[in-house]
Amino acid sequence: MEGYWLFLALLGSALLLGFLSVLFALVWVLHYREGLAWNGGAAEFNWHPVLIITGFVFVQGIAIIVYRLPWTWKCSKLLMKLIHAGLNTIALILAIIALVAAFDFHNHKAIPNMYSLHSWIGLTAVILFALQLVLGFAVFLLPFAPVSLRATVLPIHVFSGLVLFGTVIATALMGLTEKLIFALSPGNYSRLPEEGAFVNTLGMLIVVFGGVILWMATRPHWKRPLEQSTKSRQRNGGMLDGNEEGSTMTDGSNTDKSDVEFNSEASARKRSPKLDEAGQRSTM
| Chain residues that interact with a copy of itself, rule: CB under 8 A | 111-112, 115-118, 120-121, 124, 155, 159, 162-163, 166-167, 169-171, 173-174, 176-178, 180-182, 186, 189-192, 196, 199-200, 203-204, 207, 211, 214-215, 218-221, 249-253, 277, 280-284
Q: Would you say 229 or 250 has its CB closer to a copy of itself?
A: 250
Residue closer to a copy of itself, measured from CB, 60 or 232: 60
Instruction: List CB contacts of 68: < 8 A, sequence separation 6 or more.
Output: 7, 216, 217, 222, 223, 224, 248
Contacts of 117 (CB under 8 A, 6+ apart): 174
Of 88 and 280, nearer to a copy of itself (C-beta) is 280
Q: Alpha-carbon torsion 282, 167, 53, 205, what sign?
A: positive
| Shortest distance, position 175 Cβ to a copy of itself, whole Å | 9
- Is 70 or 211 the residue whose CB approaches a copy of itself more closely? 211
The least distance separating a copy of itself from the CB of residue 111, rounded to whole angstroms, comes to: 6
- Smaller CB distance to a copy of itself: residue 32 or 263? 32
Other beta carbons within 10 angstroms of residue 193's beta carbon come to 14
Cβ proximity of 10 and 213 under 8 Å: no
Q: Where are the alpha helices (DSSP H) in the chain?
A: 4-27, 42-45, 47-51, 60-65, 77-109, 117-136, 147-183, 194-217, 226-235, 264-271, 273-280
User: Cβ 284 to a copy of itself, closest distance in Å?
Assistant: 4
- Closest distance to a copy of itself from the beta carbon of 230 (Å): 20
175's CB contacts (< 8 A; 6+ apart) are 48, 49, 52, 118, 122
Could you tell me the smallest distance in angstroms from the CB atom of residue 124 to a copy of itself? 8
Nearer to a copy of itself, 63 or 176 (CB): 176
CB 57 within 8 A of CB 22: no
Smallest distance, a copy of itself to C-beta of residue 78, A:
24
Cβ contacts of 257 within 8 Å, gap of 6 or more: 226, 227, 269, 276, 280
